[in-house]
């Protein structure tokens, strides 16, 4: 890994702070921003709306759990001296990239490639998550 001790320390602190924030967020869910905006809100029965909001909250919670796991994994990597290396091509991930996204596991060029693949299968995954949401609400 090419990170200097100083930079590594900056990133470690950043990750630990993020982790704290997530842990607090898990206890006290701020889901407002995940609700539908007024324009999109369906004029359905209240029951249905609260079901929907519950499922949105659940998604938010799951996402936080997932992110926390990722942060834990990243911290483990740091202590093993394994941090900052691309999992795909073994090249060093730039500090600037890690600073913007401390849990990054891929260098920018591998990430670009992965995103291109993601986009090409976007429509498929989109309709899958739609049907999942429908089944959660119904």
> Rule CB under 5 A: which residues touch Zn ion?
86, 88-89, 107, 110
Nearer to Zn ion, 44 or 96 (CB): 96
Residue placing its CB nearer to Zn ion in the complex, 22 or 85: 85
Q: Which two tokens stand for residue 47?
A: 């029951």
86: part of which helix (H) or strand (E)?
A: none
Q: How far is the CB of 36 from Zn ion (least distance, A)?
A: 38
What's the min distance (Å) between Cβ of 124 and Zn ion?
25
Give least dist CB 115 to Zn ion, A.
Answer: 13
Residue (18 or 88) nearer to Zn ion, CB: 88
Closest alpha carbon to 25 in 98, 33, 99, 77: 33
Residue indicated by tokens 């911290």: 75
Q: Taking the complex as a whole, how short is the minimal distance between the CB of residue 69 and Zn ion, in angstroms?
A: 22
Kindly state the greatest CA–CA separation across the chain: 57
Nearer to Zn ion, 44 or 113 (CB): 113
Q: Which residues contact 25 (CB under 8 A, 6 or more apart)?
A: 64
């Amino acid at each position: 890994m090419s990170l200097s001790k100083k930079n590594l320390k900056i990133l470690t602190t950043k990750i630990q702070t993020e982790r704290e924030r997530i842990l607090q967020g898990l206890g006290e869910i701020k889901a407002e921003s995940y609700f539908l905006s007024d324009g999109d809100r369906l004029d359905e029965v209240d029951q249905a709306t609260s079901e929907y909001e519950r499922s949105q909250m659940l998604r938010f919670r799951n996402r936080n759990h997932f992110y926390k796991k990722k942060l834990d994994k990243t911290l483990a990597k740091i202590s093993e001296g394994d941090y900052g290396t691309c999992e795909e091509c073994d090249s060093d991930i730039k500090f600037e990239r890690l600073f913007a996204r401390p849990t990054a596991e891929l260098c920018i060029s591998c990430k670009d490639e992965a995103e291109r693949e993601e986009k090409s299968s976007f429509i498929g995954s989109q309709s899958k998550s739609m049907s999942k949401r429908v089944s959660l609400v119904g």
